[in-house]
Chains A and B, each alone.
Chain A
Amino acid sequence: MSLLDVRNLHARVGGNEILKGVDLTVNAGELHAIMGPNGSGKSTLAHVLAGRPGYEVTAGQVLYKGQDLLAMTPELRAREGVFLAFQYPVEIPGVSNVYFLKAALNAVRAHRGLSPLDAVDFLALVKEKAKVVDIDEALVKRPVNEGFSGGEKKRNEIFQMAILDPTLAILDETDSGLDIDALRVVSRGVNQLRSPERAMIVVTHYQRLLNYVVPDFVHVLVEGRIAKSGGKELAHELEARGYEWLETPAVR
């Protein structure tokens, strides 16, 4: 059984049909890159998988570990191991990162039948995972994303991923807006978190990220459908040729 099985997924946002029949199968240990031009539905797919309210699925189904993912609340998906790294992480003034993460982790642990981590164990975990993404511990104690630079926010997303230890991680344009140094740091974090048990879906507009995070599969999303799938060499082809050649009706 594959970890994630997306079949003929159709979805609407604000009355506009964005996804028009997406099929995608992801197995544990794999890293899939989803590429495509602006407006092709990449972020919509990421948010539908995470359960964002307002994103209406009109047809199709999604099986995650053999269960109906679309029937689950966003928090249940998270507790079952789905993680979405946001393209635009939200600032929450007044709530410290550490507190927020401890509450989140313990909610996830409770769901998995594990006892909650106490403050000491949690801080030890924070220390360990902060190294993975090279994030300043002082930053971790500050209010969630408040006053963070773009790079710090993205790094914080990867840090949260490291703490929550998901089974399926979806990274929504985590690379956009990053300078090359930040991109390297974030990529290193992602690579360190790759494991045979964990699958990743990396949504990106640019091939650049894939120089650092090497995918097993590349899919091109065009007008709400996967127009082409291939190996990592497809990313290079897209870099050279652009997306236009996939947008013609003949190819569809």
Chain B
Amino acid sequence: MAGDPRSPVSAVAEQVESYRADFERLRPARAGEPEWLAELREASLARFLELGFPDPKEERWRFTSVAPIARRTFTIADGSARVEPAELSAATFGAELDASRWVFVDGRLAPALSDGGAAEVEVMTFAEALDRRGDLVREHLGRAVGADRNTFAALNGALFSEGVLVHVPAGTVVHRPVQLVFFSTGGSARAATASYPRTLIVGGRDSQATVIQAYAGREGAVYFTDAVTEVVLADGARLDLQRLQRESMAAFHISTTSVRQGRDSHFSEHAISAGAALARADVNQTFTGPGGECALNGLFVAEGSQHTDTHTTIEHAAPHCSSRELYKGVLDGRARGVFHGTIAVRPGAVKTDALQVNKNLLLSREALVNSTPALEIFTDDVKCKHGSTTGQLDETALFYLRSRGIDAEAARGLLVYAFAAEVLAKFNPEPLRRALVSQLARRLPLALEVA
């Protein structure tokens, strides 16, 4: 409560003060930005200062403490660090992808590492987009994340530097995926850095594309990534968004993905959360027109003392839409996983067809997962189902494999792989799927090559 005399107001003020200072420091560099954007930034900062860092008493943050982020001071990375191309392969789990690649190092476009250039899709930094596609950016930026009471999205709105626009023009089918790599070089525990990646994807009417976002960093580096992605799909548009999170194990990763789907549009998300000491991903999707389809598929893997949290909301605000969600978690060591999935069916959204499944595998006694499905249904004549299971490796299956000559560790790995395979099988393109399988398998002591 605001009037609570015990509330550590000064501490909170101190925590957010450095971000206000960052904002002021950046002000001169942003003098050239259009007025509407300056207003958006001011409003975002005001919302961030008002909300502050989330409190564990808030329902959406009940199981995830952001104290490790709040108590640190991060300086905005200046983007001058050099990165060798070889370092980037970790971002895609080692996969060599045939994709138009755009690399952002510490929040800045690194042209030398990017090979961009796909004729049929427009990919450009906001600086360029404001010049060439000003109306488009103005129309959509900040709309999908909107008035969410999301403090990290607000912080990103205030501080993002080199945002990127992916515009798939109406009627365009893009075969080669667009790959956006956000690489952080970070710093030490005493000199941690922050970056605020911002992506706006606009899918024109009846367009079709695949966008791969890969978040990674220098191993062991301490940094904070606060990413926001907005996806706006016009009627009949199709987008496959792949979100690969493989940050440094000492990093903090917060991402917000907000999706608005028009009539008969199709959105699929494939997400891997494998890195970071503390990771939180919010996916908020809304059907704004009838006939849309949405598929969310995700795998989170955590070990040691990692904490990984996924919150998804699928909002059926229009009739005749269908959503499918499959999220799986594999937790080892003392790791903690959180999955919270909301399906909201608004009044009038008849013939909604929604299915949500969350399955978790605990590999140690200390690992823990909190899984909370939430249905909010305000319409009759809908089909909504959800299921959540959490369990250990099946001892009988383990014995079955060993009784055929496979050693205990490999048998464990094989069963973990088998658990994850249901989600991994949905990943495309093929080289990425293979890389994910072999990399994750290696992490999860699978001593076998998987055919």
Contact = CB atoms under 8 A, between A and B. Distances in A.
**A and B held together in a complex:** yes
Contact of B419 (A52, A79, A94, A104): A94
A75 B415 contact: no
Given A94-B417, A104-B406, A89 B400 contact: yes
Contacts of A77: 403
Interface string B411-425: 100110111111001
Contacts of B450: 99
Contacts, number: 87
A111 interface: yes
B63 to A, nearest CB: 28
Contacts of A84: 403
A221 interface: no
A107 interface: yes
A93 B408 CA distance: 19
A105 to B, nearest CB: 8
B404 interface: yes
Given A84-B403, A100-B414, A90 B408 contact: no
Interface in B417-443: 417-422, 425
B10 interface: no
Given A93-B421, A95-B418, A104 B404 contact: yes
B419 A73 contact: no
Contact of B404 (A51, A52, A93, A164): A164
Nearest to A80: B405
Contacts of B406: 75, 100, 103-104, 107
Interface stretch (B13-21, B179-187, B389-397): B389-397
Contact of A75 (B395, B397, B405): B405
A17 B407 CA distance: 29
Contacts of A103: 406, 410, 414, 448
Interface residues of A, number: 35
A78 interface: yes
A107 B403 contact: no
A242 B100 CA distance: 75
B401 A94 contact: no
A101 B430 CA distance: 24
Contact of B451 (A93, A96, A104, A108): A96
B405 A78 contact: yes
Nearest to B404: A104
B399 interface: yes
Contacts of B403: 50-52, 74-75, 77-78, 83-84, 86
Contacts of B448: 103
A73 B414 contact: no
B140 interface: no
Classify the interface of chain A: helix, strand, loop or mixed. helix
A165 B164 CA distance: 60
Interface string A133-170: 00000000001000000000000000010001000000
A137 to B, nearest CB: 16
B399 A52 contact: yes
Given A92-B415, A100-B414, A78 B451 contact: no
A78, A95, A96, A143: most-surrounded residue (chain B CB, <10 A)? A95
Contacts of A50: 399, 403
B376 to A, nearest CB: 32
B397 A92 contact: yes
Given A92-B418, A94-B419, A95-B421, A100 B404 contact: yes
A53 interface: yes
Closest 7 CB pairs of A and B: A94-B421, A78-B405, A94-B418, A104-B404, A74-B402, A90-B400, A107-B405
Given A98-B451, A108-B405, A164-B405, 4 more contacts: A84-B403, A90-B397, A92-B397, A104-B401
Interface of A: 50-54, 73-75, 77-79, 83-84, 86, 89-90, 92-96, 98-105, 107-108, 111, 143, 160, 164
Interface of B: 394-397, 399-408, 410-411, 414-415, 417-422, 425, 448, 450-451
30 contacts: A50-B403, A51-B403, A53-B399, A73-B402, A73-B407, A74-B403, A75-B402, A75-B407, A75-B408, A77-B403, A78-B404, A83-B403, A86-B403, A90-B397, A92-B401, A92-B418, A94-B417, A94-B420, A98-B451, A100-B401, A100-B406, A100-B414, A103-B406, A103-B448, A104-B405, A107-B406, A107-B407, A108-B405, A111-B405, A164-B405
